[in-house]
Amino acid sequence: MKNQTLLPFLFLTLLFSCQDTSEKTTIIQSPDGVLKLEFILSDTGIPQYTLSRNGSTVIDTSALGFNLRESGVLREGFTIVSTQTGEVRESWTPVWGPQKEIQDHYNELFLELAEGGANPRKLNLRFRLFDDGLGFRYEFPKQKAITEVTIMDEYTQFQLTGDHLAWWIPADYDSYEYLYNHTRLSEVDTAGMNYGIENRPDRFIANPHAVNTPVTMKTDDGLFLSFHEANLTDYAGMTLGIHPGNLMQSELVPWADGAKVHAKAPFTTPWRTILVTDTPGALLTSNLILNLNEPNQIKDVSWIEPMKYTGIWWELHLGITSWSLQQQEGSWGDKGGAGHGATTENAKKYIDFNAENGIRGLLVEGWNQGWEYWGQDTLGYFNFYTPYPDFDIEEVVKYAKSKNVALIGHHETGGQADHYDSQLEQAFKFYHNLGVKAVKTGYAGPVTPTGERHHGQYMVRHQRRVIEMGAKYQI
């Protein structure tokens, strides 16, 4: 969590200053002076920005804005109401990770914008410029003109300065499980790539000329760029459409009704992030996205334990054993001739192996009833708190504890998030009462309700509920 001292407090109170709102251009630099952000309000009131490094343009003039269902396009006719700039320097301690302490040092630009008229719509922008990149977001303040918000499109542009080499995967609304392509940006085209998703309801590519984030690039000058987002909370995931002239523009994953985001003012969007480094390794070691994510809200983190683990998992994929038992005429039996993998006896064998080799965790998949319906056109079949009769979960947990091994639970939903929601509290309470401290969730299938997407706001909200339930029961 954040460790703010008197020094950053002084930075916040003394170094944030108001600017002359008659100026339509505002410039801030990164703390080391290498990166420069320039905000411009065009003659027609369009908010725009540029980003340069050591005097060379990295992102050319790029526009910002929205299309709202209730009130139309929101991207021009603005005036600057107020401007603030300042420097923040602080540090924080992660729960776990490769660094004991993370430095958070940036210069910030905050702008309040408003349209003209008697009841103007208001939109705020916040930019944070780090030594290795930029993060910015939109902030909808409380106001009379905008209350209920339905975002139909977000118009965030990234105007690149060349046809850079890019490492990319397609903008699939449901999956990131693709091998990365390495082409020029102008060559992004999934139309003829034979991904074989035509008959897969758990895959969907709406725009063949778009990419999922993060997308990483190398410029002809040797710079490495990476575009992504941070603090994705109650919003749709962002893909990037590739347009002529080396332009990328945000394309949000929609709801089933076609809207991208449903919200109420006040609210903020996720951060749009641009990393700019000399080496690819510096992209990996950057803390920019971590620093832009919201601070940890869990006060007691003592129960969170990273660990190595084995699992009754790979043998299932190899077909050595099966995820399920098959019930016929009231009796349980092996399905398809393969023995059931998640048995009490098999789990104890894994526990013994873990104990002998100093491996802390054991994941067990296929322990709960419902797997016998996998692959059928059946909904609501998983039971997340009832084991198969050949898996004595209380005995397994007890035996594991005696060997200093921790059982890792498993909740496969088949993509049926609504069904999982209906059992969520009971499922986590069940594990909590057993002393299980970790659970692996899975969403291998199309989302229900039908028409919702894995990367849309519906599922972002669902994942948040799961995370909060885990925190409630210390799992």
Counting residues of the chain whose pLDDT is more than 90, the rounded percentage is: 87
pLDDT digits (tens, 9 = 90+) for 121-169: 999 999 999 999 999 999 999 999 999 999 999 999 999 999 999 999 9
Supply angle C-alpha 363, 367, 369, rounded to 5: 150
Q: Where in the chain is the domain with CATH 3.20.20.70?
A: 309-472
CA separation (Å) from 422 to 105, 418, 433, 445, 462? 43, 6, 19, 18, 11
Across the beta sheet with 56-63, what order do the strands follow? 25-29, 35-41, 47-53, 56-63, 157-160, 247-252, 238-243, 210-212
Average per-residue pLDDT for the chain: 93
**Residue 111: pLDDT band by 50, 70, 90 thresholds?**
very high
User: Which amino acid appears at position 122 of this protein?
Assistant: K
Least confident of 99-108, 267-276, 307-316, 321-330: 321-330
| pLDDT number for residue 122 | 98
How far apart CA 197 and CA 206 sit, in angstroms, is: 12
How far apart CA 366 and CA 343 sit, in angstroms, is: 9
**Residue 312: pLDDT band by 50, 70, 90 thresholds?**
very high
How far apart CA 367 and CA 182 sit, in angstroms, is: 41
Question: In the chain, how many H helices and how many E strands?
Answer: 8, 32
pLDDT digits (tens, 9 = 90+) for 331-358: 566 655 568 999 999 999 999 999 999 9
- Catalogue the long-range contacts made by 40-43 (C-beta closer than 8 Å, 24 or more residues apart): 41/78, 41/79, 41/80, 41/113, 42/76
What b/e string do you get for 366-377 counting C-beta neighbours within 10 Å, with b at 16 or more? bbbbbbbebeee
pLDDT digits (tens, 9 = 90+) for 391-450: 999 999 999 999 999 999 999 999 999 999 999 999 999 999 999 999 999 999 999 999
Q: Where in the chain is the domain with CATH 2.70.98.10?
A: 2-292
In the CATH hierarchy, which fold is given to the domain comprising 309-472?
Answer: TIM Barrel (3.20.20)
**DSSP label of 288:** H
CATH code for the domain defined by 2-292: 2.70.98.10
Inter-residue contact 215 to 171 (CB < 8 Å): no
Whether 13 shows a pLDDT value over 90: the answer reads no
